[in-house]
Amino acid sequence: MINILGINISTLKKSEVLKKIEQFLNNGGQHYIVTPNPEIILETEKDEEFFYILNKASLAIPDGIGLKFAAWMMGKNIKRFTGVDLVKSVLQLRITNYQLRIAVINWNSGLSKKENIKKILDRYKLKNLVIDINRNGKIPQEMVDFKPDILFCTLGAPYQEKFIYHNLKKLPSVKIGIGVGGAFDFLTGKTKRAPKLLRILGLEWLWRLFKQPKRIKRIYKAVIVFPYKFIVWRFFLPFLYRPNVACLLYKKENNNYKILLAERRDQPEHWQLPQGGTDGEDLITAGSRELSEEIGTDKFKPMASFKNLWKYKFNKNADNYKIKRHLGYRGQRQGLFIAEFFGADSDIKIDFWDHRGWKWVEANNLVNEVHTTRQEATKIFLEKFNNINKKK
């Protein structure tokens, strides 16, 4: 496995991928497969849910020549496995003792209609069901009753990955869910593939630009923006500290101050102040945004901010490091945002992707309540908070 811009990518060969898929079909569990390309990886920078969904996949198969070039610059040689080739390979699988049942959730505004997709599946002599839905559609009961083994979803990224992630358990018969985007458009002939030579040279993007000029924005992201981001991530960020803001949210009860802590989802019993990257914003703006995202409400009042109070290096040997959105930086440089909470506890909806729980703790016991690795910084933050209260 290799990590590119925070997304874990499989380094398995095609034969190994297909063997893994056969194992998924035989082991009785549920799995989902994603096919990241440069555009998809860039999308995760602004979509936290999508970021974590990709990194929780059972397999992330590289699709896009940009990922192959990026891997080369990291000293790795990964095998690209396009979506259309993946679909064809899966349809050709023959599992001992039973015939696969294939279901397709098809985007009703896509190029390929369900009648065309069904003809392709019939050609492989597979029991199948194809249903058209919109991108916000739900699992039809007809599909539950059909009891498919494999679910293909053509809603396009990130809709198809989110659809599979949130609905897989509602289809208990499904052993593998795969987001395939426009793969069936090639199989049904709605979109013509680039000549083989261009595919070998990694110039499919040029062919698609020639055939579909309206894709220029997407192609610009893939061939210009992605390489730039990768070079910065690979060769510059390891020497830099990520600007970060710690958020100290407090409320006053019976003349005592209580401060909110969040428990990290990836590390049970690791309690800390909510925090996040500033993304080029000032501390008040970044702190307000981050706190709103972390606790799910804006019922707080900004009170103060302090720059550059703490700096630390990341532990790159930690098991959870490779699935962090800040991956690439040497460490973090923290400022502090202080805000007063004026809502009710029922207003707090903690961020599911980052945290598993939250609690209020007495201010005078804050340092003892945070994880040991956070205590030294928390002492500094608490001192700033106490100084503000003394001035009131």
DSSP 77-103: -PPP--HHHHHHHHHT---TTS--EEE
Closest CA to 108 of 52, 156, 71: 156
Closest CA to 48 of 357, 351, 287, 267: 351
* Domains recognised in the chain with CATH numbers: 2-234 (no CATH), 241-391 (3.90.79.10)
* Nearest-10 crossing angle of helices 14-26, 83-91: 50
Residue 62 has pLDDT above 90, yes or no: yes
Q: How many residues does the chain have?
A: 392
Amino acid letter, 240: L
**Which is more confidently placed, 148 or 218?**
148
Query: Residue 339, Cβ neighbours under 10 Å: how many?
Result: 22
Confidence class for position 324, pLDDT limits 50, 70, 90: low
Average pLDDT over residues 224-245: 93
Residue 9 has pLDDT above 80, yes or no: yes
Confidence class for position 132, pLDDT limits 50, 70, 90: very high
Q: Rg of the Cα trace of the chain? A: 24
Structure tokens at 291: 């706190």
Measured in whole angstroms, how far is the alpha carbon of residue 163 from the centre of its chain?
13
Map residue 192 onto helix, strand or coil.
coil
Which pLDDT belongs to residue 212? 72
Which pLDDT belongs to residue 377? 95
Residue 189 has pLDDT above 70, yes or no: yes
Q: Percent of the chain having pLDDT more than 90? A: 62
Which pLDDT belongs to residue 391? 64
259, 250 contact by CB (below 8 A): yes
Q: Percent of the chain having pLDDT more than 70? A: 93
133, 103 contact by CB (below 8 A): no
Average pLDDT over residues 15-20: 93
Please give the backbone phi and psi of residue 153, each rounded to the nearest 5 degrees, phi first: -130, 125
Average pLDDT over residues 132-148: 92
347, 299 contact by CB (below 8 A): yes
Please classify residue 120 by burial: count the beta carbons closer than 10 Å to its beta carbon, then call 0-12 exposed, 13-18 middle and 19+ buried: buried
- Give the helix ranges, DSSP H, for 124-264: 141-146, 159-167, 183-187, 196-201, 204-211, 216-220, 226-235
Which pLDDT belongs to residue 105? 94
Distance CA 56, CA 36 (A): 13
Residue 66 has pLDDT above 60, yes or no: yes
Which pLDDT belongs to residue 110? 86
Average pLDDT over residues 361-367: 95
Which pLDDT belongs to residue 214? 76
Average pLDDT over residues 123-152: 92
Closest CA to 277 of 25, 6, 72: 6
110, 182 contact by CB (below 8 A): yes
Residue 99 has pLDDT above 60, yes or no: yes
Residue 221 has pLDDT above 80, yes or no: yes
Q: What is the mean pLDDT of the chain?
A: 89
Structure tokens at 294: 């972390």
Residue 217 has pLDDT above 70, yes or no: yes
Average pLDDT over residues 278-282: 91
Which pLDDT belongs to residue 213? 78
